[in-house]
Amino acid sequence: MPEFKNLEIESGAEKEKLPESTITAYVIRHGETVKDKFDPRRGLTERGEEQAKKAAEKIAEEISRETPPETEIELRGYDSGVDRANQTLIGAVKILTSKGYKVYLPYSSQEIAQDKIALEEMEKAGLIYGKGPGIKSRIRNMTLPAEAKKELIEKAKQRGEELVVTILTTPPEKLKEMGVETPEEIFKRMEPALEITNRLAQRRREKKYPRRIISICLTHGGTLEGYLTQKLGINPRKLDAIPECEGFRIDFSGQPGKEPKIKFWGEEIEKRMAAPE
């Protein structure tokens, strides 16, 4: 497991040309959904829509604060392929495009978008561009069959804890018997994307290409929690369930020998992880 360290950047002329992070990825959970948790096509509540807007405002503020005015910015948006993740992504895209940012969306994200009229208007204005299938397979939702979910929910109620904690503390062999994707399997699915992105960041820095790529990836909380417990060795009970529209951020400097820097992203999760055990 690689150790994540604070990144250093070049000095002098190089520092003026290249941003500290040539690629930044926000991997976050979808907004609050309606109560029927067994409905795979459930959408966001009004509060969930507001959470998506707030997350986009925070991302826009960070981009503005961290990126020199002369640096070209490319925004990319991805979702795991379910309505609640897509709805959160499109809600965030609305805010970002209203601020003048152009966003690249994979065709799959556009095809299932619930607010097609708004998407069409943004596309006409030149604020949305279509891309290929992107990294949907990497951030797809954790495999959790309905019958297995019922059993795990009942177990969680008996323990008095969040469903995700029960899932992550259940022996992997038991999860496999139930058809549930294990945290280790989630990690093996998602980790190659980081390695590929890091190599891309290195090539961009070698070419001294000043554009900064910002990726916003929306998925299910169980996917995030399964990945983070494996990546950072976090106790599932301390991590608990990731709050809506929060997650983690990864910065890729592209500097040889430098690992990507990962940190929790969102007020609630940052406070939770900073608290003593």
Q: pLDDT of 120-132, one tens digit each?
A: 998 898 998 887 7
Range of the domain at 173: 144-180
Q: What is the pLDDT of residue 55?
A: 96
Residues 174, 209: one domain? no
Q: pLDDT at residue 165 above 80?
A: yes
> Token match 């022996």: residue?
171
Question: Cβ of 212: how many Cβ atoms within 10 Å?
Answer: 22
Residues 53, 120: one domain? yes
Residues 164, 240: one domain? no
Mean pLDDT check: name the lowest of 1-15, 156-170, 182-196, 251-265: 1-15
What tens digit of pLDDT does each residue of 53-62 get? 999 999 999 9
For residue 227, give both structure tokens: 């990945």
Domain-embedded: residue 3? no
Q: Does residue 242 contact residue 29 with C-beta atoms inside 8 Å?
A: yes
Residues 134, 167: one domain? no
Domain boundary among 180, 204, 230: 180
- The CATH code of the domain that includes 250 is 3.40.50
How many domains would you assign to the chain? 2
Residues 134, 221: one domain? yes
Residues 59, 155: one domain? no
Taking all residues of the chain, what is their mean pLDDT, rounded to a whole number? Answer: 86
Residues 131, 149: one domain? no
Residues 80, 212: one domain? yes
For residue 129, give both structure tokens: 């561009």
Burial 173-196 (b: 16+ CB within 10 A, else e): eebeebebbbbebbbebbbebbee
Rounded to an integer, the average pLDDT of 169-176 is 95
What tens digit of pLDDT does each residue of 82-117 get? 888 999 999 999 999 999 899 999 888 888 888 888
Residues 85, 56: one domain? yes
Instruction: Give me the long-range contacts of 162-167 (CB less than 8 A, separation at least 24).
Output: 162/240, 162/241, 163/241, 164/221, 164/222, 164/225, 164/236, 164/240, 164/241, 164/242, 165/236, 165/237, 165/240, 165/241, 167/222, 167/226
Domain-embedded: residue 4? no
